[in-house]
Every structure is written in C-alpha cells, then in structure tokens.
Structure 1
Amino acid sequence: MTNTTVRTDADATYDCRQVFAEELITLAREDPRVVAVCNDSVGSSNLTGFRAEFPDRLINVGIAEQDLVGVGAGLANGGMIPFVSAAGPFLTGRALEQIKADCAYSGHKVVLCGQSPGMAYGELGPTHHSVEDLSWLRAVADLPVLVPTDREQTRAAIRWAYAFEGPCYLRVPRFKVPDVIPPDAPFGPGRSVTLREGTDATVIAIGTLVSRALAAAGALAAEGISVRVLNTPFVDPLDEAAVLSAAAETGALVVAEEATLSGGLGAAVASLVGQHRPVPLRLLGVTGFAPTGDASYLLEHFGLTADGIRQAVHEVLAMSSSAV
C-alpha cells in the first residue's frame, strides 16, 4: 500500500482505449514479438493505427472468440507476445474454456484485453455488458485480473502485462474518466494505492468507481466524516495487507465496482475480512440484468455514483454505531 497525492485535472475526462492503442504501438516498435489478435474488432479495439503500421502483425480471426484465444495461445507458444483483444463479454464468456485451458493452465504468455468492460455499451444491453468477467476469471487459477482506473494506470497495466511471464486479463476502459492516479504510483500484483487518507471508514474502488469514490469522500468530509479511498487495480491477487489494515484502522468498509456482486472484488474483500477482520461492510455493484439505458443512467440505476457511495458509507457507519 502506498500513499500518494491525487492528481487534479479539473473536469477533464479521457477514453483510456487511446492510451491502450498508443502504448501497444510503442511496444510493437520496441519488440518485434508483439502482435495483436482481434475478433473482427479492429475499430472498437482501437487497433486501426496498429494495423496501419504493422499490417503483418495484426491477426483478425473474425467473430470466433474461442479461435481468438486459441490463436493467441499458439502465437505465445511460438515465442510471440500476443495482445488478444475483444469486447469484454465475448472474450470472457465465449472463450472461458480456452482462457482456462490454453492460457492459464498451459501458462502461455497471453495478454487478454477485455475492451469496453462493465456497462460501457449502455443501450446495447446485458448481452454486451461485461459485468461477470471479474467473477469468472477470478475463479481461474494463475490468471492475474487487472482493472486500471485512468490513463496513467492503463499505461502501467499494459507495460506490466507485457513484462509479466504468464497470462493475464486486463480491462480496457471505454467509459471516459478523469486522471486521478499519480504518475509515481506503484503498480504490481498485490499492490494498492491510497488516494485519500481517512479514519472513519474506507472505500475500496476500482475502474470507473474510483473518481466517484473520491468525490464521495470529499462530500463526506464536509459532513465531518473522514473516509480513506483505497484503489486496488489488481482484483486478483488482491492487496490483502492493505484491505486488512483498512478494516482494522477505519473499522468499516465500502467496496465499489462496475461488476456483478457475485464473485468480483467485493466478494474477494468480503471473504478476506470475514475470515480475518470482520467489520461492517457494504458492497456496491451490479445486481441482476440491467434495464435499457446509457452507461451513465445504468451507473445511477445501480447506485454506482458519488452519492450512492456516500450513502453506503453512512450505512456502514450506522452499522458500526449499532454494534457498539
């Protein structure tokens, strides 16, 4: 766990897929082993520039996600470094067996890039929402699961995945977010970033929910409530020491993620603190299938907003008070 100074870039927000595209091209220029594999998703994966510069290093398998992952594993077995890119729900849902057997169990160095995760596809509905991916892939052994928060952390995640000697799953955010992670923040398995100190409760957040957690902490400070904001970009392996310290030092936890509550970050935190440091806990995430609406509406529908997080903090503090 590292304490940092939060970046403040006013109200500017950014599409992290652009960073993904730029960083992948940079890596390809540095290393001829880097290749991209996609499922007829050159545009949505932001691989147009990569294809223009490296036409022989982009493999488009068409709408065949099981083949997508299998081809990626074969390339890795041949000494290449494949970045396998597709919309999150199709990459993880359709090719889960290949992810388990061809990548994780076989130990092949494949970077699985889940594009536009969470509910970023909005009105396209639950078929295109990637909210189960964290649950599915946390259950697969030897497969780190990464959820970067902003441009800086997305860049760090891509660089880490490139250097890692095994497979991993990386969410590539589509929902525009502000820059909140300091450039000097650490990045690695089991390492978290404390973005705000606090003593009354801790909000543990990833991805699109981090900036909202910081906004909630600011609003709560005006009410005289001190909230720690902890970012855990590795959902697996989790920074267990930081989570347990937060539970011990602040006495109440809220976990916020753009994912189903069944098996994701919240489930990982609940399992950990339930066994080692039980405290009042509130999990915020997606429950059931989403209604029709754009991404912003859906986040609000499920309470994944600054105000939703603020209310959850009040709930865990009330639980703490009633337990005394």
Structure 2
Amino acid sequence: MRKAFIEELTKLAKKDKNVWLLTGDLGFSVFDDFQKNFPKQYLNVGVAEQNLISIAAGLAMSGKKVFAYSITTFLTMRPFEQIRNDICYQNLPVTLIGTGSAFSYNTAGCTHFALEDLSLMRILPNMTVTAPGDAYEVKSLVRAAYKHQGPVYMCITKNGEPIVHNKNTNIIFGKAVKVADGNDAAILVCGRQLSNTLTAANILREQGIKCRVLSFHTLKPLDMAEIKKAAKETKGLITVEENLLAGGFGSAVAEVLADNKITKPLVRMGIPDEFPKGVGSQDYFLERYNLTANGIAGSVKKILKLTSR
C-alpha cells in the first residue's frame, strides 16, 4: 500500500505544485524519487511529530494540500492535541497517512502496535477516517483526499496485500463497496482484512453458506444505508477490523443498529481490551485473535447458529 500511496501522490504533485509531502524522518526508500523530483514540495521535519502536524497546518492555511506521513502510532497519539486543535478545529485540508496497521511492525513491540488509531481519529469532529483494504482503494482514496476540503486520516499497511477490486470499482468517501453477494450473513470489513474476509466468504460458499461482503474503506462518514440494508436482508452481521474493539469500526456499526432500533445479531471481530503480549510474526498475532479467513468463517457459523435457535 505504501507504493500505491506514493505513486498516486506523485501523479498529483506533477499536476499541482501545491501538493506537499511531509514526513517524520521515515519512508526514505519509498520517497527518494519524490524528494528528487519535487524538492520544493517535500519536507522531512525529523522525529518531531507534533511539529509535523503544526507545520502541515500552517502550510494548509497557506493554500497547500498537505500529506503528512509517519508510523501510525507516532502519527496519531504523540501529536493528538495538534491534530485536534491545529487541523480538525480549523477544518484544514491535511491528510494524515499512518503506515502500519495493528501488527505490521510486529518485532518492535507494543509501542508500534497500531491498535487505537481508528478509535482516536473517529472521535474528532471534521475528520474523515479511512482504512483501505487493498492498493486500489489506497489510490482512489488518495485522489479523494486531494479533492476533499478538510482533514483526512488514512491507515495503510507496509506489506503487499492482494488486490481485490477491479479497475471499474467506484471508490468514494462514505460509500461501502459490495465485493460478494449473499443473504445468509453479512461480513462488514474495514481495512487490510478485506482479502481474508473474501477468502472466508469463498470457503463458506463451498459449504452452502452465502455471505455478503462489504468493504467499508471509510469509517467516517459511515455508510449507514448499507448497514441497515444488510441488517434487513441477512440473518446477522459480522464486523472485521485490526483495531481495538472499543470505539472502532464494530462499535460504529453497533451504534447504527442501536440508534435505529434494529435488533439483529452482531459479532465484532478485532482486538479485545488488552495489550498484546509475546513476540511473533504479524500472522502469529492475527491468528491469536482469530483474524484469519478460517477465524472469520467460524464467526459466521457462530452467528448463524444463534439465529437458528
């Protein structure tokens, strides 16, 4: 996804000299060509994330379209006050690019585990929150962020996730994309679990269970219409995310159901209320929390079992 991001940003920078890329001393192997080709549109502020946000705000107030890049945990937590006051309060066109979802930096330990970013960014007024599921969604959302007149947060991963969408798929803020159809259950996914979710749906289809799969690349604004439609037309909902369950995508879906007095079984998949312990690969941690194709398929069977009673 990092490659997709910089490729799309490069296209925009060629057309618009007001496009700026700021980084917190990261992305050198990825940004070398951008820095070389657009030296007056690139700034490395160093390991100073609070300055990163305030400089981005100042540039935006000067008419620039700013993309600020850093590791997710450092970008969303250390400068939270600056994000709130300098960017969101002023409603400035700054796009925050957080690299590394959940356990992408698995060997660095809990300081680098991006578990809270969607929850934190979601509570901020004026902030659009996105979590693309593949490189196609990344490119589409970067273009949307460029056109958007307000703050945007985007969580991307640093690994090569499979491409799910075709080139004709329309990706716009606040509109979920149906990638598989079915009326037995609906799997609502936000972020890089998109490929695993589609694999789970294919596994279940071979067993006679037809699942609707919806990619919610935008967590805020949330496509409430698709949630209500899925609740009406299927036996139950499963949400999948690589974020703490508290305040994340699953919580947002639960709020929609509660606010609209919709009584439909809901299973939320994500990280429980704990700091993950131990050392292992990204897959090791994801398997611990059942965030795999088989784990997702198991949750679908669980909810169908509940509805059959």
Q: Is the TM-score greater than 0.5?
A: yes
Partner residue of 1:299 out of 271, 283, 286: 286
Pairing 1:222-241 to 2, within 5 Å after superposition: 222-241=206-225
Residues 1:314 and 2:301 aligned together: yes
Partner residue of 1:283 out of 240, 254, 268: 268
The answer (yes or no) to whether the contact 1:193–1:231 under 8 Å persists in 2 is: yes
Shift of 1:176: 2.2
Structural RMSD (CA): 1.1
CA displacement 1:91-131 (0-9 Å, x = unmatched): 00101111111111101110111112221111211110111
| Partner Cα distance (1:135, 1:192) in 2 | 19
CA displacement 1:200-240 (0-9 Å, x = unmatched): 10000122211111111111112111111011110011100
* TM-score, normalisation: structure 2: 0.96
Pairing 1:33-52 to 2, within 5 Å after superposition: 33-43=18-28, 46-52=30-36
Shift of 1:251: 2.2
C-alpha spacing 1:21/1:189, structure 2 compared with 1 (3 Å): closer
User: Comparing 34-43 with 68-77, which one deviates more in the overlay?
Assistant: 34-43
The code of the aligned residue for 1:289 comes to F
| Partner Cα distance (1:132, 1:118) in 2 | 9
1:179 maps to what in 2? 163
* TM-score, normalisation: structure 1: 0.92
| Partner Cα distance (2:251, 2:168) in 1 | 29
CA displacement 1:252-309 (0-9 Å, x = unmatched): 0000011110111000001111232121111111122123211111111111000110
Shift of 1:138: 0.5
User: Comparing 215-224 with 48-57, which one deviates more in the overlay?
Assistant: 48-57
The answer (yes or no) to whether the contact 2:144–2:173 under 8 Å persists in 1 is: no
Residues 1:198 and 2:182 aligned together: yes
Residues 1:21 and 2:6 aligned together: yes
The code of the aligned residue for 1:284 comes to M
Identical residues among aligned pairs (%)? 36
The code of the aligned residue for 2:227 comes to V
Pairing 1:57-76 to 2, within 5 Å after superposition: 57-76=41-60
Q: Which has the higher contact order (CA 8 A, sep 6+)?
A: 1
Partner residue of 2:70 out of 83, 86, 107: 86
| Partner Cα distance (2:32, 2:188) in 1 | 35
The code of the aligned residue for 2:138 comes to T
